[in-house]
Amino acid sequence: MGALVVVDKLTVSAGSATLVDALSFTIRPGEVLALIGESGSGKTTTALALMGHARRGCRISGGSVRIGDVDVLSLAPRQLRALRGRTVSYIAQSAAASFDPSRSILDQVVEPACLHGTLPRGEAELKAIALFRELALPEPETIGQRYPHQVSGGQLQRLMAAMALITEPDVVILDEPTTALDVTTQVEVLRAFRRVVRERHVTAVYVSHDLAVVAQMADHILVLRDGRMREVGATERLLASPQNEYTQSLLAAARPATRTAGTARDDADVLLRVKGLSAGYGAPGPGGKPAVTILEDIDLQLKRGQAIGVIGESGSGKTTLARVIAGLLPPSTGTMEFDGRALPPALGARSRDNLRRIQIVFQSADTALNPSQTIDRILARPLQFYRGLKGEPLRKRIDELLDLVKLPRTLAGRLPGGLSGGQKQRVNLARALAAEPDLILCDEVTSALDTVVGAAVLDLIAELRKELGVSYLFISHDLHTVRAVCDEIVVMQYGRKLAQVARADYDRGPHHPYYEQLARAVPELRRGWLDEMDAQRKAA
């Protein structure tokens, strides 16, 4: 059974900065409270403080946390250890990073029970298997014998939930447990989580930045920003009539509006034509086919000024498609045509002008910007390289680019380490724009960003298209983002193109079943969506 959680004026600070500022809330036994906010809002810090833990360099500097009758913050280290994993347990965002790769899964799942002495090893194993079954894991009897790398990400996340629940805790903290998963996997995991949380009546804290996910899980939502509470309320009330301005902007960002920007005219000439493209890795075998085929027989046509979205789950080959077009991976068969002329398959064979006209923007801005180069140097390089600019014109052009992506000019002298995630992604875009390309390949550009920041980047992408007339090949696993900016959607699975849907037909069906499945898997921003899904599933 769950316990009552009372947090009163909780304050966490790091040095002179206050990360969580006098936060107070109550969770009734068996209820689920969602902490929602952008990165840096203090939601994980708050969640960790519930276990009496502060990350290195941080300090819980005030307030109180009560779980049942226990005042968590006044406990001695030994008592805290007895509390953690027993009364309060934690499910982290990345299960892959939380499991020890060198021990079998069952070994690790039963560890909390053995450590806290709640169950003897044999019984704990039986209980773990029962939990695996409850969490809808395949082969519950034997999955525990496997090692973490032998199960998928979604399964690992559920296995971690089993680890957290094996000691029958009163409070469970779920820290963005589905953020790293594909949409279709996410639904499965959410479903499993919700069932175990409901059936056991544990008190749960669900940390997330995704309102639609939270709407399915939580009874109450607490909106955090800069460590302060902006709004708290029952889920229905908060979604229907948000009081706080920030909550409203979060809700607006979660319902992405279509950015109707500069659609391509029908008579526009074809910019990129891909025919019968196959590609893969490894040495070519008989018949010129590579050892591992990633892409098979892809046909694609992109008109000047058009934006085409490519969606699919991870492993569907969408990133490989971008790499082939960019020349990083020569295709095994098939041809590419750019602006009416054949596009050489390998990078080395392309002319500098061809290289300039196709730019690629990567998902993770952290690794896409050289950490030892200042922003102006990063932006200056393509200008110098392609256009030979120097001196005053170069300076001016860099300023223009920064204006174009709406970054303050003062950032020019900084290193990427001093920028936020959204700012880095803007620099990333600006670098591609510096080459004045015709086609930008966007590989999951908003996936690593918070909803609000991601929405702003999407706005920028749509606006640039209107102003500069660039075309996009927009790769994403999120149907919402793709629908928001693209004229057409290409659906990929197992390296094949399954369907192509034009904007006018987005809401008109019927589409390819896989597209429908993807579309259905995106959580909707209302309560009860998951219940309806379950009901439909049972009926079917």
Partner 1 sequence: MSTAIHAGSIDRSVLRRWRDRLAHFGPTGWLGLAVIAFWAAAAIFGPALMSQRGDVGGGDVFAPISAAHWFGTDYLGRDMLARVIEGARYTVGVAFGATLLASGTGTLLALLAAASGRWIDGTLSRALDTLTAIPSKMFALLMVAGFGSSVTMLIVTAAIIYVPGAYRIARSLAVNINALDYVTVARTRGEGIVYVMLQEILPNITGPMLADFGLRFVYVVLLLASLSFLGLGIQPPEADWGSLVRENIETLASGGAAVIAPSIAIASLTIAVNLVIDNLPGRAARERGAR
Work out whether 35 is an interface residue with partner 1 (CB under 8 A): no
The secondary structure of the chain in percent helix, strand, coil, rounded to multiples of 5, reads 40, 25, 35
Least Å distance, CB 368 to partner 1, is 4
Q: Is the peptide bond before 510 cis (omega within 30 degrees of 0)?
A: yes
When the beta carbons of 223 and 325 are compared against partner 1, the nearer one is: 325
Q: Which residues of 497-519 are buried (b: 16+ CB within 10 A; e: fewer)?
A: bbebbebeebeeeebeebbeebb
CB of 172 or CB of 274, closer to partner 1: 274
Least distance between partner 1 and beta carbon 324 (Å): 12
Angle at 277 (CA atoms; ends 273, 283), nearest 5 degrees: 145
Return the number of the residue (270 or 394) whose C-beta is nearest partner 1: 394
Strand order in the sheet with 228-234: 88-91, 171-175, 203-208, 32-36, 220-225, 228-234
DSSP classification of residue 469: -
Which residue lies nearer to partner 1 by CB, 147 or 386?
Answer: 386
Q: Tokens representing 173?
A: 């903290």
Instruction: Using DSSP bridges, classify how beta strands 220-225 and 32-36 pair: parallel, antiparallel or unpaired.
Output: parallel
**Span 360-419, contacts to partner 1 by CB under 8 A:** 360, 362, 364, 367-373, 376-377, 380-382, 384-386, 391, 394-395, 398, 414-415, 417-418
The nearest distance, CB 78 to partner 1, in angstroms, is 33
Least separation in angstroms between CB 69 and partner 1? 40
| Secondary structure class of 102 (helix, strand, coil) | coil
Instruction: Out of 44, 359, 425, 481, name the contact with partner 1 by CB under 8 A.
Output: 359
Residue 171 · residue 50 · CB < 8 Å: yes
Closest CB to partner 1 among residues 368, 407: 368
Quote the CA–CA distance of 473 and 372 in Å, as a whole number. 29
Q: Between 106 and 326, name the residue whose CB sits nearer to partner 1.
A: 326
Q: Which amino acid is at 88?
A: V
Q: Which one among 220, 424, 426, 431 touches partner 1, defined by CB under 8 A?
A: 431
Of 341 and 538, CB closest to partner 1: 341
d(CA 102, CA 94): 17
Smallest distance from the beta carbon of 391 to partner 1, in angstroms? 7
Contact pick of 212, 264, 326, 519 for partner 1 (by CB under 8 A): 326
Q: Angle at Cα 449 formed by Cα 443 and Cα 453, nearest 5°?
A: 115
SS3 at position 156 = helix
Closer residue to partner 1, CB minimum distance, 395 or 526: 395
Cβ-based nearer residue to partner 1, 386 or 494:
386
How long is the chain?
A: 540
Question: How many positions of this chain bind partner 1 (CB under 8 A)?
Answer: 38
Taking the least distance from each CB to partner 1, the nearer of 287 and 391 is: 391
As measured in angstroms, the least distance from the Cβ of 331 to partner 1 is: 16
| CA dihedral (406, 412, 414, 417) positive or negative | positive
Minimum gap (Å) between residue 392 Cβ and partner 1: 9
Nearest CB to partner 1, comparing residues 118 and 314: 314
CB of 297 to partner 1, least distance (A): 25
Q: How far is the CB of 275 from partner 1 (least distance, A)?
A: 22
Nearer to partner 1, 472 or 506 (CB): 472
Q: What is the nearest approach in angstroms of partner 1 to the Cβ of residue 425?
A: 12
Q: What do you get for the CA distance between the two ends of the chain, in Å?
A: 34
Q: Do 254 and 451 meet the contact criterion of CB atoms below 8 Å apart?
A: yes
Q: How many CB atoms lie within 10 A of CB 104?
A: 14
Q: Which is nearer to partner 1, 248 or 384 (CB)?
A: 384
Counting Cβ atoms within 10 Å, is residue 263 exposed (0-12), middle (13-18) or buried (19+)?
middle
Contact status, residue 311 vs residue 482, Cβ threshold 8 Å: yes
Nearest approach in angstroms of CB 98 to partner 1 is 23
For residue 11, how far is the Cα from the chain centroid? 29
Which amino acid, one-letter code, is at 511? H
Contact residue for partner 1 among 328, 346, 502, 535 (CB under 8 A): 328
Segment 435 to 474, residues that bind partner 1, using CB under 8 A: 435
Q: At 103, which amino acid appears?
A: R
Part of the chain binding partner 1 (CB under 8 A), chosen from 67-75, 153-161, 354-362, 518-526: 354-362
Q: Which residue stretch of 103-111, 322-330, 455-463, 490-498 sits at the interface with partner 1 (rule: CB under 8 A)?
A: 322-330
358-361 and 341-342 strand pairing: unpaired
CB of 460 to partner 1, least distance (A): 19
Q: Which residues contact 467 (CB under 8 A, 6 or more apart)?
A: none
Distance CA 457, CA 210 (A): 17
Is residue 350 close enough to count as binding partner 1 by CB under 8 A? yes
Neighbours of 289 (CB within 10 A): 15
Q: Is residue 500 close enough to count as binding partner 1 by CB under 8 A?
A: no
- Rounded to a whole number of angstroms, the minimum distance from the CB of residue 73 to partner 1 is 28
Can you tell me whether residue 246 is helix, strand or coil?
helix
| Site for partner 1, rule CB under 8 A | 326-328, 347, 350, 352, 355-356, 358-360, 362, 364, 367-373, 376-377, 380-382, 384-386, 391, 394-395, 398, 414-415, 417-418, 431, 435
